[in-house]
Structures are given as structure tokens and as C-alpha cells.
């Protein structure tokens, strides 16, 4: 059985993975049939470089992706393309319709990805602003406490003891 899976490389705690097509009996980092991409989960945002044509070919000929790779292929639209191509093969839809649906899906995906990037940047800016405001408030409270501590109390005039005359 042929699998599409990740093969680890990179140093300790900074893993980078190759997306490979390999026999299911070969070891994780061992022999593989073809390298179709790479995946870096440690970068922000995660980077996936994938040869979509080769991934689509291998999925169509029956290679089984692992759970992680299935998720990555789904994000790239390879599995949706497979779904549409099966419809074309069964003559349920035309190739032009399938291509148009895939293009529409990819355009929507790009738009949501760009919007989420903008939203993340706004959220980070708001968090930074809130942290700065909280830090300023704490700084002012500390300055006030130091000021009270260092303040010299006004001299108190000695009071004359009361004498009681009988």
C-alpha cells in the first residue's frame, strides 16, 4: 500500500517535514518513492510548499494520505479537486464546470486567508495596546506609592501640656 506521509528532518525542536509518497512498510524517515513537498509547522503562519499536480496524481491513483497530510491536502484544495474529478469521470459534471468550481473555491480561500491575517494583526495590536495601558497603570501606582513613602510629614508643633490649677 502506498501512503502520502510526512518524513521528519531538521534539528531538535525545530522540525521540518518532507511530504513524501512511500510504501507503508518503509520507515518514517527511510526510503520513499517521491518527494512532493515540504511543511514547516514551526513558522508563523505554517508554511506548506506542495506540488499540487503530483499530489493530485498520487491521490487519484490510490495513495492513502495520513491524517495530518489529509488535512494539509484539504487546505490546499487537492481533495476537493479529486472530488470534482470523480464527478467528471462519472459524467455528472463537465470539466469546465469542475474547473470553475475549483477556481471559485480557491479564490474564496485566498480571500478568507487574507482577511484572517488582517484580523490577527488587529488583534495583536489591540492586545499590545491593552498591555501597555495596564503597564502604565501599574507604573503610576508604583510612582504614587514611592511618592507617599518618601514624603516627609509636616512638622507637628509641640503642644504645651495642659496644667490644671486647682
DSSP 8-state code for residue 33: S
- pLDDT for residue 166: 59
Examine residue 141 and state whether it is found in any structural domain, yes or no: no
Examine residue 42 and state whether it is found in any structural domain, yes or no: yes
Examine residue 72 and state whether it is found in any structural domain, yes or no: yes
Residue 34, domain extent: 2-76
User: At 64, which CATH number?
Assistant: 3.30.1320.10
Examine residue 47 and state whether it is found in any structural domain, yes or no: yes
Domains held by the chain: number: 1
Examine residue 143 and state whether it is found in any structural domain, yes or no: no
CB 37 within 8 A of CB 48: yes
Examine residue 149 and state whether it is found in any structural domain, yes or no: no
Examine residue 92 and state whether it is found in any structural domain, yes or no: no
- What is the rounded end-to-end Cα distance, in angstroms, of the chain? 118
Burial of 40 (0-12, 13-18, 19+ CB in 10 A): middle
> Which of the residues in the chain have pLDDT under 70?
160, 165-166
- pLDDT for residue 33: 92
pTM of the model: 0.67
Examine residue 139 and state whether it is found in any structural domain, yes or no: no
> What would the pLDDT profile of 27-47 be if each residue is shown by its tens digit?
888 889 999 999 999 987 788
Amino acid at each position: 500500500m502506498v501512503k502520502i506521509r510526512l518524513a521528519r528532518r531538521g534539528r531538535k525542536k525545530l522540525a521540518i517535514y518532507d511530504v513524501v509518497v512511500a510504501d507503508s512498510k518503509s520507515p518514517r524517515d527511510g526510503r520513499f518513492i517521491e518527494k512532493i513537498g515540504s511543511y514547516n509547522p514551526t513558522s508563523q503562519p505554517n508554511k506548506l510548499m506542495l506540488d499540487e499536480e503530483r499530489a493530485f496524481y498520487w491521490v487519484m491513483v490510490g495513495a492513502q494520505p495520513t491524517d495530518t497530510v489529509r488535512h494539509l491536502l484539504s487546505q490546499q484544495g487537492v481533495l476537493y479537486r479529486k472530488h470534482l474529478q470523480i464527478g467528471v469521470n462519472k459524467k455528472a459534471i463537465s470539466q469546465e464546470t469542475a474547473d470553475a468550481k475549483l477556481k471559485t473555491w480557491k479564490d474564496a480561500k485566498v480571500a478568507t486567508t487574507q482577511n484572517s491575517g488582517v484580523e490577527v494583526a488587529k488583534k495583536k495590536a489591540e492586545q499590545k495596546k491593552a498591555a501597555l495601558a495596564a503597564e502604565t497603570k501599574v507604573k503610576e501606582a508604583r510612582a504614587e506609592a514611592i511618592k507617599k513613602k518618601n514624603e516627609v510629614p509636616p512638622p507637628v508643633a509641640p503642644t504645651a501640656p495642659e496644667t490644671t490649677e486647682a
